[in-house]
Amino acid sequence: MSGRIGQRTGAPACRILSVGSFRPARVVTNAEICERIDSSDEWIRERSGIIERRYAAREESVVDLGVQAARVALERSGVDPGAISMVLVATVTHPLQTPSAAVEIAFRVGATNAAATDISSACAGFCYGLGLADSMIRTGAAEYVLLVGVEKLSDWVNPDDRSSAFIFADGAGAVVIGPSDTPGIGPTIWGADGSQTDAINMTQTLIQYRNEGGEIFPHLVMKGQQVFRWAVGEMPKVAQRALDAAGLTADDLDAFIPHQANMRITDAMVRAMRLPEGLPVARDIATTGNTSAASIPLAMDRMLADGEIRSGDIALLIGFGAGLAFASQVVRVP
Ligand code: UT7
């Protein structure tokens, strides 16, 4: 045996430098959703907190949405697109097996020196991406990372399914992550429970649909109560572990920005974690719906725009959903 493999080391710390988001133009009200399902505006508001959501246009793709959010984040970061060394795209709604959404988004925003790949962790995808970006920057695998969370769930939802049609929506959020003097991303607490793949799933694979046919095109189905119970029972413990791992307590927080799954899940987490009264909590679901991997950066960008949080604030993030998969960390707001 001869020779020793050299290894790289990266920046001592990293942080989120900027956030940007994109909301598609079309507002879809509960009344419109109820044209196809036996439900009501009142029920949807009470059970999910959703008043309206956005749907992308038919010809607007996951890549189109992602590019819009990425351009805003890049512009705000001041980082030259050519200096981005990795583009990560968290999505489960890009309709092609290959190439990835990331390679297309990287090209279209001018990140032509970047490696690029997609992350398939559904609603946990954005926080998975932050965990990966943090590790890559500190090991020297990347210097600047563009992370996009983007979904066009309207393509994969059955508008006649009353257990899911009202909840999911379209949107995109993006962040640029880069080296910093002091840590801006705490340890990521993450995991996956493959015993519950049935909780959020597809009716068929595209291959089954081609070979065997099916009444309608393959789409998402969700066992809402099963996911709800898991989220409310387990996610406060995960978020607490992320807080502990960062060496902080709830009193150190300036904001709580959970995945926008359901307003009642957010409320239950706030109660279970005994978060301080008056702590700003993301409630973007009311007008944005559940946008899976896009929901956390969309909510963060809105809270900044509304003056609910400020640059430098400490926020607790948690993403959770299909898999079932979850990831949580504490970050400094860009
Ligand atoms: O983002 C990734 C992860 N996803 C989530 O975290 C979603 C988690 N789950 C949820 O958010 C909730 O389970 C839903 C919002 C999807 C559903 O709310 P729920 O309170 O769990 O409703 P349920 O399924 O327990 O149904 C309660 C009642 C039932 O009627 P009965 O049996 O009590 O008479 C349903 O038939 O509400 C009925 N129902 C509806 N009524 C009007 C179910 N769906 C609807 C509907 N409109 N769309």
Please check whether residues 250 and 325 belong to one and the same domain.
yes
Please check whether residues 70 and 166 belong to one and the same domain.
yes
Question: What pLDDT does 217 receive?
Answer: 95
Question: What pLDDT does 215 receive?
Answer: 85
Cα angle, residue 63 at apex, residues 58 and 69 outer, rounded to 5°: 105
Question: What pLDDT does 214 receive?
Answer: 83
Residue 8 lies in a domain: no
Q: Give the Cα separation of 5 and 183 in Å (integer).
A: 28
Choosing from 180, 212, 234, the residue where a domain stops is: 180
**Full DSSP string of 153-192:** GGGTS-TT-TTTTTTB-EEEEEEEEEEESS--BPPPEEEE
What is the phi/psi pair of residue 287, to 5°?
A: -115, 0
β partners of residue 28: 53
Please check whether residues 246 and 158 belong to one and the same domain.
no
CATH of the domain at 104: 3.40.47.10
Distance 163 CA to ligand 1 centre (A): 6
Choosing from 180, 202, 221, the residue where a domain stops is: 180
123 is catalytic: yes
Helix axes 41-48, 263-272, angle to 10 degrees: 30
- Does the CB atom of residue 48 touch ligand 1 within 6 A? yes
* Strand, coil or helix: 268: helix
- Does the CB atom of residue 290 touch ligand 1 within 6 A? yes
pTM assigned to the model = 0.97
Please check whether residues 54 and 34 belong to one and the same domain.
yes
Please check whether residues 174 and 265 belong to one and the same domain.
no
- Does the CB atom of residue 288 touch ligand 1 within 6 A? no
Choosing from 130, 152, 180, the residue where a domain stops is: 180
Residue 1 lies in a domain: no
The number of distinct structural domains making up the chain is 2
Distance 29 CA to ligand 1 centre (A): 18
Question: Mean pLDDT, 10 residues at a time, over the chain (334 residues)?
Answer: 90 97 98 98 98 98 98 98 98 97 98 98 98 98 98 98 97 98 97 97 96 92 97 98 98 98 98 97 98 98 98 98 97 98
Please check whether residues 175 and 197 belong to one and the same domain.
no
* Strand, coil or helix: 90: strand
CB 148 within 8 A of CB 90: yes
- Does the CB atom of residue 123 touch ligand 1 within 6 A? yes
Please check whether residues 20 and 169 belong to one and the same domain.
yes
Question: What pLDDT does 38 receive?
Answer: 97
Question: What pLDDT does 21 receive?
Answer: 98
Q: How far is CA 223 from CA 47, 51, 230, 259, 311, in A?
A: 15, 22, 11, 18, 38
- Ligand 1, atom 3, lies closest to the CA of 321
| Domain hosting residue 193, numbered range | 189-332
- Does the CB atom of residue 70 touch ligand 1 within 6 A? no
Please check whether residues 20 and 150 belong to one and the same domain.
yes
Long-range contacts of 75-79 (CB under 8 A, 24+ apart): 75/18, 75/20, 76/18, 76/19, 76/20, 76/176, 76/334, 77/17, 77/18, 77/144, 77/176, 77/178, 78/17, 78/18, 79/17, 79/144, 79/176, 79/178
Residue 322 lies in a domain: yes
Residue 7 lies in a domain: no
Q: How far is CA 281 from CA 57, 146, 150, 157, 296, in A?
A: 30, 25, 22, 28, 11
Distance 250 CA to ligand 1 centre (A): 30
Please check whether residues 82 and 172 belong to one and the same domain.
yes
- From the candidates 158, 219, 259, 262, which is the catalytic residue? 259
Please check whether residues 28 and 167 belong to one and the same domain.
yes
Please check whether residues 108 and 215 belong to one and the same domain.
no
R_g of the chain, CA atoms, integer Å: 19
Please check whether residues 20 and 118 belong to one and the same domain.
yes
